[in-house]
């Protein structure tokens, strides 16, 4: 387990180019299973979650070239297994995206409980309901889910019980392999769902309603190989913006689309953080942040839950009191209780709401990255704090932020990776 040693109190400035969207890369990699022809993905993020997803494919008999590089070639000409490696599945929530394509290609899938952030609290019930509506039958034996589609997946009219991103993607991938027209209502509309739709369309799937909450999918035909260049990761762009803002610095982030960054930039502006965004440029100026009455998450195009932890850290450096409300997920805010030990003025109302009063001069300490996004938020807090901090495990944060140590150093941070 690696640790990150952080010297705080330095103003960070510079330029960072983000990689492709992590949350688009995983479903696109899973979609490659739907065809026996080669697919080529460009601007693939070099992160641990992508590495795990590609290793899962290799374990299924798939040929993968370019692992660890921005261009990855995937050829699923021969799928030799329908049981993804249980250890890797336990590391990656996105592994559930393999189930629909496996049912379409092999007629069965055996999947352990997907891991990732808070696996015990994030079920795959929405995914399973969509698959069952398309004719999959299954049973659970302990932590293993065994699903079969002996006569193939069939088209269906589906209403998702929540606008789950991965639930929508699971339904899309399964519908692409079901002969006929499926309709998915209450679908998620996030940019990475749109990217999956565009990739499936390039493979030969008919899709209407892209970007809306109702998707009509014409699937079941023989799909062809396709290429796609991933859009920049707007959550990563927002993360770097907050790192600059909490340390009193300035940054120029390249690679993320302005339309994707807008929900994040709007909250930063409300907090009096000077920022501009256009084309693929997102810039944050030296600012004196101010509190806002409330920051509330929402489904797209609302403020993304993945940014809640980082905005909470920014609120510790803003003058006044801010209520942060993440109604979407429990436990995300609990990981930020560690900020109290850094002298932050916090009041945790319940699992979904926290009140932050600032500004507070933070103090360095030992920190524990319990999930991906709160881990990056705690790094931001440590960079703004007086003194030194040590964060473990660094691997948790590297699931979503590639070459993290090098990028931090490139904007002036004094950090050191400790493998001991």
For helices 125-133 and 99-106, what crossing angle results, to 10°? 30
Taking domain 22-229, whether its CATH number is 3.50.50.60 is answered by no
Q: Where are the domains of the chain?
A: 3-18+233-418, 22-229
pLDDT tens digits along 181-207? 999 999 999 999 999 999 999 999 999
Provide the pLDDT for residue 120. Answer: 42
Strand-pair partners of 418 = 3
* 117 part of the active site: yes
Homologous superfamily in CATH for domain 3-18+233-418: Enolpyruvate transferase domain (3.65.10.10)
Q: Other CB atoms closer than 10 Å to residue 183's CB: what's the count? A: 18
Residues 6+ apart with CB under 8 A from 367: 338, 378, 381, 382, 389, 390, 391, 392
pLDDT tens digits along 37-92? 999 999 999 999 999 999 999 999 999 999 999 999 999 999 999 999 999 999 99
Pairing of strands 227-229, 38-42: parallel
In order of 31, 49, 109, the CA distances from 157 in angstroms are: 21, 32, 22
Provide the pLDDT for residue 329. Answer: 75
In order of 24, 51, 347, the CA distances from 31 in angstroms are: 11, 16, 43
The structure tokens listed for 221 are: 């035909």
CB 202 within 8 A of CB 228: yes
Provide the pLDDT for residue 335. Answer: 82
The structure tokens listed for 52 are: 């795990």
CA distance 283 to 245: 11
- Catalytic one of 19, 36, 85, 117: 117
- pLDDT (tens place) for every residue of the chain, 420 residues total: 899 999 999 999 999 999 999 999 999 999 999 999 999 999 999 999 999 999 999 999 999 999 999 999 999 999 999 999 999 999 999 999 999 999 999 999 999 988 765 544 568 889 999 999 999 998 888 778 899 998 999 999 999 999 999 999 999 999 999 999 999 999 999 999 999 999 999 999 999 999 999 999 999 999 999 999 999 999 999 999 999 999 999 999 999 999 999 999 999 999 999 999 989 999 999 999 999 999 999 999 999 999 999 999 999 999 999 999 998 877 678 888 899 999 999 999 998 999 999 999 999 999 999 899 999 999 999 999 999 999 999 999 999 999 999 999 999 999 999 997
Domains 3-18+233-418 and 22-229 share a fold: yes
């Amino acid at each position: 387990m690696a640790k990150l040693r952080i010297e705080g109190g330095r103003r960070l400035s510079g330029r960072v180019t983000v990689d492709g969207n992590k949350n688009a890369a995983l479903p696109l990699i899973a979609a490659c299973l739907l065809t026996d022809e080669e697919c080529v993905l460009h601007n693939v993020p070099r992160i641990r979650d992508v590495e795990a997803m590609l290793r899962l494919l290799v374990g299924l008999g798939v040929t993968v070239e370019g692992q660890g590089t921005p261009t990855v070639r995937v050829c699923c000409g021969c799928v030799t297994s329908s049981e993804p490696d249980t250890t890797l599945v336990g590391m990656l929530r996105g592994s559930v995206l393999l189930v629909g394509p496996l049912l379409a290609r092999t007629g069965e899938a055996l999947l352990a409980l997907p891991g990732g952030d808070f696996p015990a609290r994030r079920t795959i019930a929405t995914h399973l309901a969509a698959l069952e509506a398309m004719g999959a039958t299954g049973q659970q034996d302990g932590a293993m889910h065994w699903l079969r589609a002996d006569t193939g997946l069939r088209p269906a009219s589906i209403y998702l019980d929540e606008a789950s991103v991965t639930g929508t993607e699971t339904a899309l991938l399964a519908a692409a392999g079901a002969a006929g027209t499926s309709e998915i209502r209450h679908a998620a509309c996030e940019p990475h769902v749109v990217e999956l739709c565009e990739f499936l369309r390039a493979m030969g799937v008919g899709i209407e309603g892209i970007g809306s909450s109702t998707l009509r999918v014409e699937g079941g035909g023989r799909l062809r190989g396709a290429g796609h260049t991933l859009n920049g990761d707007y959550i990563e762009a927002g993360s770097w913006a907050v790192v600059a803002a909490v340390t009193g610095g300035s940054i120029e982030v390249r690679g993320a689309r302005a339309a994707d960054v807008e929900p994040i930039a709007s909250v930063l502006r409300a907090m009096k953080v000077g920022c501009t965004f256009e084309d693929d440029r997102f810039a944050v100026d030296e600012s004196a942040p101010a509190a806002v009455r409330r920051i509330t998450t929402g489904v797209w195009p609302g403020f993304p839950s993945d940014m809640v932890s980082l905005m909470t850290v920014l609120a510790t450096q803003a003058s006044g009191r801010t209520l942060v409300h993440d109604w979407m997920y429990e436990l995300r805010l609990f990981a930020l209780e560690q900020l109290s030990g850094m002298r932050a003025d916090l009041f945790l109302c319940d699992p979904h709401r926290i009140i932050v009063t600032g500004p507070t001069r933070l103090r360095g300490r030992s920190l524990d990255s319990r999930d991906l996004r709160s881990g990056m938020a705690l790094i931001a807090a440590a960079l703004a704090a007086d003194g030194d901090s040590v964060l473990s495990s660094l691997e948790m944060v590297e699931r979503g932020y590639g070459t993290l140590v090098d990028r931090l150093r490139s904007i002036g941070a004094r950090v050191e990776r400790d493998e001991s």
